[in-house]
A and B are shown apart, each in its own frame.
Chain A
Amino acid sequence: MSLDLSHTKFDEMLRRSAMDFMRGDAPKRVVEELLETDIGMSEGMWKKMADLGWLGILIPDQYGGALNSMTAAGVVLEAMGTGPLPGPYFSSSILGTRIVLEAADESQKEEILPGIVDGRRVLTLAMIEADYTWEPETLSTRALLTEAGFVMDGIKLFVQDAAAATHFIVAAVTEDPATLSEFVSLFIVPAASRGISVKRLPGFLSGRTFEVTFKGVEVPGSALLGNRENGRRALEAAIMKSIPLLCAYKVGGCQSILNMALEYSRGRVQFAKPIGRFQRVQDMIIEIANHADAARWATYEALWKQDVKGFDPESIHLAKVLASEGYWQACTLGHQVFSGLSYSMEHELSFHTRSSRSLYDYFGDPGFHRRKLGKILLN
């Protein structure tokens, strides 16, 4: 049979270099420092990621990128998830890139994408509002057509990596002046534009999420990605296609937690034996392994399906449910294995706990994706 769940030689090389990068450039101490910053990334590290070709991993050659398979990109994201390495890599080189590829016209791609590849340009999506939903039906941010272009007003919430971004991709409602019908449209807006203010949302578990306020922000007509009508479709496609790579990041996190818990339970002695000998502790570790493996193989399959079939919603929803829940639960179970030690902000498990919480709802919580699966299964 054609079944072969090995990575290619190329992907294995990529994994080795990504894991070397994590060990050498992003060890625990560095991750810990980055987690405290608003940007989550250092200039040096960003430059190195550009040199390695990772920033353009989804960008075709003609725009200067080093387009790779989803499976290969998954290898990089999985390695980053072991840190977990913070920063705008996913927001810019995965999601942001994908939105541009889906929505922008040719000249916009030529304008935007090379900057992502060399790291000058950092994108992030500003879509979510107070009424938290990943189906943008009820956006209140509006972009009014003017003679010079558009004027934007609205408040975007839980925006990832807003402090790192050089440009926001803003989802806003526009109106066709002739028919008065409304559309969700996408705009690329420099973060330094007049009228934009950015505030980080405090909270240990909130990750790097921000409120971004747009108050009378003027953008030229060329800021509209593609046309007015295609925003919603492009957004949905880009988000769905990016989900498996977010899952890969979570898989890296799960594996890292499993390794940590195994190591600790072999060495930590209580009642005169390593705690791993206690069946209660084994129960928790086995459950972590089950979560990690379920997330891993569902993610790998979703990545593979995207590589060979283009777009397969069923596998994407499945992977998102398993990876979001798996990462969350692996952290919770991990804290039970480590107990007091892991409540320290310096403990690596706490890095993952922050990330598992702040990414749980990102692109829709497991309930959202379960409902989507239900629709597919019963229709």
Chain B
Amino acid sequence: MDFSLDYTEKQESFAVEVRKWLDENLPDDLIPIRDVCKMSGDQWLKRREFTKKLGRKGWLYPGYPREYGGGGLTPEYTYVLVEELSAREMALPPLYDMGILASPAILAFGTEEQKQRMLPPMFKGDVITWQLFTEPEAGTDAANQQTNALRSSREKDYFIISGHKVFVGSFPSRPEQMYVLTRSDLDAPRHQNLSSFVIPGDLPGIKVLPLDLFTLSTFPAVSGVTGANVEGVKHSVFFDDVKVHESCLIGKEGQGWMVTNATLEVEHGGGRGGVVRKNYMAEKFLEICKTDPVISRRLKNNPELTDSVVEIYIGSQVERLLNMRNADGKGAAYGGPQLALYSKMFGTRFVSHMARVLGPYAYTQDEKYALAEGIFEVGQRCGICLAPGGTPEAYKIGISRALGIGR
């Protein structure tokens, strides 16, 4: 039994290499993301450039096969990379890129031709992918797709996609690539009527409209430094008779649900393997309670508030422990969605305890008065937002199935 996260000797020598590379390649003027909604175009472009550098080095998708442009690194080295990046307040990937969810599906269900064509640009950082699952009528019920992808009656090797996706994407306003779940058969039974596509983002007939949201990012994702890639900027995407070649179809026609499940398993917490995330916001909060003169006076004058500090500490420790358990592959079948559920529900408790302790300081981003660069205000908004990546109810369905009591 060993709970320490210290590097082994092999890891330490790799860390030296990573640090040297970061010294040379990580721009000095990158501002850590605190509120994604406020990121400037200039900052985004700088991150994009850095993302490409990581990609060229094979470190953007470090765990993926070298033959497709990945880094071919084992989890112990990937861990070092993520740690070293996070020490510099940088996430992996540094930008919102749902290639992290599309690539497992392509690897599992794509043809060899598709793997060679699609994966290298993703792994090298040239292509940013959005995941387009959610629709107005397909939220937690992701199988209830209304966006149709039907074979063209004139050109049999093409599909025509039409429909409406919502709460998807991030920066920029138009990605290079989209990973789309559609209904490809109007008559087949549920779950057998779907198909998955990975398509270019600039096809004629695709319209992207930004949504005006006060939040759309889950709390633990923002709170963890390594999760800063989950963005709070979302869009509607409309497909107006978009012509898509069948070479974009991932898996067979009608296999969309199977392909999607490969993705959802990763998105709903995976459960086996992975990195140990830090709860950046919890760490910052505890530090502020101790060091900020205004807040420590508040705590001294209102002793009952200490309970809230302790609750936040306890919740963040349980989150850390379940995270470590999963990272070491001890999470059993239900560990992935269990951690995801725990983190989300802890997020809701966190923000209410945080609000108790900080009072109105929890809600301001004012340059002069905000604490910790305003991240607590971001946290308050995120704590309201439980849907991204799956609702807690969806996670419970997953846990119950894994425990052998669900369907």
Q: What residues of chain A have their CB less than 8 Å away from a CB belonging to chain B?
A: 1-8, 11, 71, 262, 265-266, 274, 276-277, 279, 281-283, 285-286, 289-290, 293-294, 297-298, 300-301, 303-305, 307-308, 318, 321-322, 370-371, 373-374, 377-378
The CA of A373 and the CA of B308, in the complex, are separated in Å by 11
Query: Which residues in B have their C-beta under 8 angstroms from that of A301?
Result: 3, 321
Supposing A301-B3, A377-B309 touch, asked if A5 and B324 sit within 8 A by C-beta, the answer is yes
**Cβ B314 vs Cβ A321 within 8 A:** yes
| Interface flag for B8 (CB, 8 Å) | yes
A and B contact pairs by CB, cutoff 8 A, 26 listed: A1-B4, A1-B5, A1-B6, A1-B7, A1-B79, A2-B7, A3-B5, A3-B276, A3-B327, A4-B1, A4-B328, A282-B396, A282-B399, A286-B341, A293-B325, A297-B318, A301-B3, A318-B317, A322-B318, A370-B307, A371-B306, A374-B307, A374-B310, A377-B309, A377-B313, A378-B296
Residue from the list A3, A285, A308, A374 in contact with B403, Cβ < 8 A:
A285
Query: Which residues in A have their C-beta under 8 angstroms from that of B314?
Result: 318, 321-322, 370, 373
Name the interface residues of B160-182: CB closer than 8 Å to any CB of A.
none
Query: Which residues in B have their C-beta under 8 angstroms from that of A3?
Result: 2-5, 276, 324, 327-328
Query: Which residues in A have their C-beta under 8 angstroms from that of B25?
Result: none
**Cβ A298 vs Cβ B400 within 8 A:** no
**Cβ B324 vs Cβ A293 within 8 A:** no
Query: Which residues in A have their C-beta under 8 angstroms from that of B79?
Result: 1
**Cβ A5 vs Cβ B403 within 8 A:** no
**Cβ B321 vs Cβ A294 within 8 A:** yes
Name the interface residues of B279-324: CB closer than 8 Å to any CB of A.
286, 289-290, 296, 299, 306-307, 309-310, 313-314, 317-318, 321-322, 324
**Cβ B406 vs Cβ A277 within 8 A:** yes
**Cβ A283 vs Cβ B404 within 8 A:** no
The CA of A119 and the CA of B215, in the complex, are separated in Å by 63
Interface of chain A, main secondary structure: helix
**Cβ A374 vs Cβ B309 within 8 A:** yes
Interface string of B113-130 (1 = CB under 8 A from A): 000000000000000000
**Cβ A282 vs Cβ B405 within 8 A:** yes
A3-B327, A318-B317 known; 7 other A-B pairs, CB under 8 Å? A277-B405, A290-B338, A294-B321, A303-B1, A304-B3, A318-B314, A377-B313
A132–chain B nearest beta-carbon distance, Å: 21
**Cβ B396 vs Cβ A279 within 8 A:** yes
Query: Which residues in B have their C-beta under 8 angstroms from that of A300?
Result: 1, 3
The CA of A282 and the CA of B1, in the complex, are separated in Å by 32
9 pairs of A and B residues whose beta carbons are closest in the complex = A276-B405, A297-B321, A374-B306, A282-B400, A5-B328, A294-B318, A4-B2, A370-B310, A304-B1
Residue from the list A71, A266, A294, A308 in contact with B322, Cβ < 8 A:
A294
Query: Which residues in A have their C-beta under 8 angstroms from that of B317?
Result: 298, 318
Query: Which residues in A have their C-beta under 8 angstroms from that of B322?
Result: 293-294, 297
Query: Which residues in B have their C-beta under 8 angstroms from that of A318?
Result: 314, 317
The CA of A308 and the CA of B368, in the complex, are separated in Å by 45
Query: Which residues in B have their C-beta under 8 angstroms from that of A290?
Result: 338, 341-342
Supposing A2-B8, A285-B405 touch, asked if A378 and B306 sit within 8 A by C-beta, the answer is yes
The CA of A301 and the CA of B318, in the complex, are separated in Å by 11
| Interface flag for B407 (CB, 8 Å) | yes
- Give the nearest-CB partner of B6 in chain A: A2
Query: Which residues in B have their C-beta under 8 angstroms from that of A293?
Result: 322, 325, 338
| Interface flag for B236 (CB, 8 Å) | no
Query: Which residues in A have their C-beta under 8 angstroms from that of B406?
Result: 276-277, 282
B271–chain A nearest beta-carbon distance, Å: 12
The CA of A4 and the CA of B4, in the complex, are separated in Å by 8
**Cβ A71 vs Cβ B1 within 8 A:** yes
- Give the nearest-CB partner of B312 in chain A: A377
Query: Which residues in B have their C-beta under 8 angstroms from that of A71?
Result: 1
- Give the nearest-CB partner of B319 in chain A: A294
Interface string of B388-407 (1 = CB under 8 A from A): 00000000100110011111
| Interface flag for B76 (CB, 8 Å) | yes
The CA of A370 and the CA of B276, in the complex, are separated in Å by 26
**Cβ A297 vs Cβ B325 within 8 A:** yes
The CA of A315 and the CA of B407, in the complex, are separated in Å by 38
Residue from the list A1, A266, A322, A377 in contact with B290, Cβ < 8 A:
A377
Query: Which residues in A have their C-beta under 8 angstroms from that of B252?
Result: none
**Cβ B286 vs Cβ A1 within 8 A:** no
Name the interface residues of B353-378: CB closer than 8 Å to any CB of A.
none
Query: Which residues in A have their C-beta under 8 angstroms from that of B276?
Result: 3
B159–chain A nearest beta-carbon distance, Å: 37
Query: Which residues in B have their C-beta under 8 angstroms from that of A294?
Result: 318, 321-322
| Interface flag for B11 (CB, 8 Å) | yes
Supposing A1-B6, A283-B396 touch, asked if A265 and B405 sit within 8 A by C-beta, the answer is yes
Query: Which residues in A have their C-beta under 8 angstroms from that of B306?
Result: 371, 374, 378
**Cβ A5 vs Cβ B5 within 8 A:** no
| Interface flag for B330 (CB, 8 Å) | yes
**Cβ A289 vs Cβ B338 within 8 A:** yes
User: Which of the listed residues B2, B6, B299, B328 has the most CB atoms from chain A within 10 Å of its own CB?
Assistant: B2
- Give the nearest-CB partner of A369 in chain B: B310
**Cβ B11 vs Cβ A1 within 8 A:** yes
**Cβ B338 vs Cβ A8 within 8 A:** no
The CA of A283 and the CA of B400, in the complex, are separated in Å by 9
User: Which of the listed residues A279, A294, A371 has the most CB atoms from chain B within 10 Å of its own CB?
Assistant: A294
**Cβ A297 vs Cβ B1 within 8 A:** no
Residue from the list B3, B6, B290 in contact with A305, Cβ < 8 A:
B3
The CA of A122 and the CA of B285, in the complex, are separated in Å by 48
- Give the nearest-CB partner of A6 in chain B: B1
The CA of A370 and the CA of B325, in the complex, are separated in Å by 24
A24–chain B nearest beta-carbon distance, Å: 27
| Interface flag for B68 (CB, 8 Å) | no
Query: Which residues in A have their C-beta under 8 angstroms from that of B404?
Result: 262, 266, 276
The CA of A140 and the CA of B255, in the complex, are separated in Å by 76
- Give the nearest-CB partner of B83 in chain A: A1
A315–chain B nearest beta-carbon distance, Å: 9
**Cβ A8 vs Cβ B296 within 8 A:** no
| Interface flag for B64 (CB, 8 Å) | no
Interface string of B131-166 (1 = CB under 8 A from A): 000000000000000000000000000000000000
Supposing A282-B406, A301-B321 touch, asked if A2 and B4 sit within 8 A by C-beta, the answer is yes
**Cβ B2 vs Cβ A2 within 8 A:** yes
The CA of A371 and the CA of B314, in the complex, are separated in Å by 12
